[in-house]
């Protein structure tokens, strides 16, 4: 397994592989690998002949008040895990390799619209940081296919839009969220939770399931959102948002309930909704989502 911090060394190996007509998969990560990341690695290995995992904690996607300095960095353990998966290359540039002229003055990419709502409202600059670094990784690795987790659903949409708008020749594949047994979505930030908070945190998934079930039974969208926000708040969560959205545009559905939604969608393609949530427990901020179909696709 090649482990390199240098774009030049990485490119040398990539050139050899490309010459032999190998297909290249990229799994971009910030390290501290858990089963969610490893499910991306498994998917990558199934679909390409060479898999590159990048490990880079990207300063450009952290606001000054966020956890860039304390973000868990577990390089040795990550390498052990990736060796077990027989990954072909680990690309772990330092900040100077990624942003030779300093990240603050770097050319950047903004993806308007999709970046402005939800996470974009609570974390200004976050999607600029993500889009810029992912674009740089695509240029460095030039993968045929790249893998992203559905847990970061808005990030996935932003990356897909960037790839489409900029004609980047890479296929984006998403992989389902991996959950703990109580439903908590796996995330490196889960380890910030105190034991009591960790016990409470399964409630986020339960709340989203309740919203889904109630919507399927015809509940009013706004009422059920408000009810769940209130319940979570009573249980000690600070809810940044818990909201039903149309899953392609991330806009609020212009409807009161599922029947109304299906009527407007004309029961053709847009028959699904997504619940997106961002909540804080103490100083830990967690995001999750649940997408569901209102009825089978009728094409």
Binding site for ligand PAF (CB under 6 A): 28-30, 58, 61, 130, 133-134, 152, 155
CA–CA gap between residue 102 and residue 96 (Å, rounded):
7
Q: How many angstroms separate the Cα of 52 from the Cα of each of 41, 147, 202, 265?
A: 9, 11, 32, 40
CA–CA gap between residue 17 and residue 2 (Å, rounded):
13
* CA count, 13 A, side-chain hemisphere, 203: 21
CA–CA gap between residue 75 and residue 32 (Å, rounded):
7
User: For ligand PAF, which is the closer residue by CB, 164 or 295?
Assistant: 164
Tell me the residue number closest to ligand PAF, measured at CB: 28
Neighbours of 105 (CB within 10 A): 8
Residues designated as active site: 37
* Spacing of C-alpha 155 from chain mean position: 5
Q: Answer whether 285's CB lies under 8 Å from 189's CB.
A: yes
CA–CA gap between residue 235 and residue 250 (Å, rounded):
27
User: For ligand PAF, which is the closer residue by CB, 131 or 279?
Assistant: 131
User: For ligand PAF, which is the closer residue by CB, 40 or 273?
Assistant: 40
Name, in order, each residue with C-beta under 8 angstroms of 38's C-beta and a sequence gap of 6 or more: 81, 85
Q: From the CB of 254, what's the least distance to ligand PAF, in Å?
A: 30
Q: From the CB of 58, what's the least distance to ligand PAF, in Å?
A: 4
Q: Answer whether 152's CB lies under 8 Å from 115's CB.
A: no
DSSP β-bridge partners for residue 171: 145
User: For ligand PAF, which is the closer residue by CB, 39 or 61?
Assistant: 61
Q: From the CB of 15, what's the least distance to ligand PAF, in Å?
A: 24
Q: From the CB of 281, what's the least distance to ligand PAF, in Å?
A: 20
Q: Answer whether 261's CB lies under 8 Å from 218's CB.
A: no
User: For ligand PAF, which is the closer residue by CB, 82 or 215?
Assistant: 82
User: For ligand PAF, which is the closer residue by CB, 53 or 204?
Assistant: 53
CA–CA gap between residue 223 and residue 217 (Å, rounded):
13
Q: From the CB of 186, what's the least distance to ligand PAF, in Å?
A: 12
Q: From the CB of 144, what's the least distance to ligand PAF, in Å?
A: 18
CA–CA gap between residue 18 and residue 278 (Å, rounded):
41
């Amino acid at each position: 397994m090649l482990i390199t911090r240098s774009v030049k060394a990485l490119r040398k190996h990539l050139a050899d592989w490309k010459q032999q007509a190998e297909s290249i998969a990229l799994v971009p990560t910030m390290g501290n690998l858990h089963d969610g990341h490893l499910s991306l690695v498994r998917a990558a290995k199934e679909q390409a002949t060479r898999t590159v995992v990048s490990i880079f904690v990207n300063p450009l996607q952290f606001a000054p008040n966020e956890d860039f300095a304390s973000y868990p960095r577990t390089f040795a353990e990550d390498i052990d895990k990736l060796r077990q998966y027989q990954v072909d290359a680990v690309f772990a540039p330092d900040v100077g390799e990624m942003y030779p002229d300093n990240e603050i003055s770097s050319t950047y990419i903004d993806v308007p619209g999709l970046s402005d709502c939800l996470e974009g409202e609570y974390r200004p600059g976050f999607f600029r940081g993500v889009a810029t670094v992912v674009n740089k990784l695509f240029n460095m690795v030039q993968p045929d296919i790249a893998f992203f987790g559905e847990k970061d659903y808005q990030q996935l949409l932003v990356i897909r839009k960037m790839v489409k708008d900029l004609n980047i020749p890479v296929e984006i594949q998403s992989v389902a969220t991996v959950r703990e047994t109580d439903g908590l979505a796996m995330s490196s930030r889960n380890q910030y939770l105190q034991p009591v908070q960790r016990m409470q945190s399964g409630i986020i998934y339960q709340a989203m399931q309740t919203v889904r079930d109630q919507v399927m039974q015809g509940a009013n969208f706004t009422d059920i959102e408000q009810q769940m926000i209130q319940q979570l708040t009573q249980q000690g969560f600070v809810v940044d948002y818990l909201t039903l959205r149309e899953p392609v545009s991330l806009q609020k559905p212009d409807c009161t309930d599922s029947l109304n939604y299906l009527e407007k969608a004309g029961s053709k393609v847009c028959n699904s909704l997504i619940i997106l949530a961002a909540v804080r427990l103490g100083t830990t901020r967690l995001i999750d989502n649940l997408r569901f179909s209102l009825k089978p696709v009728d094409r």
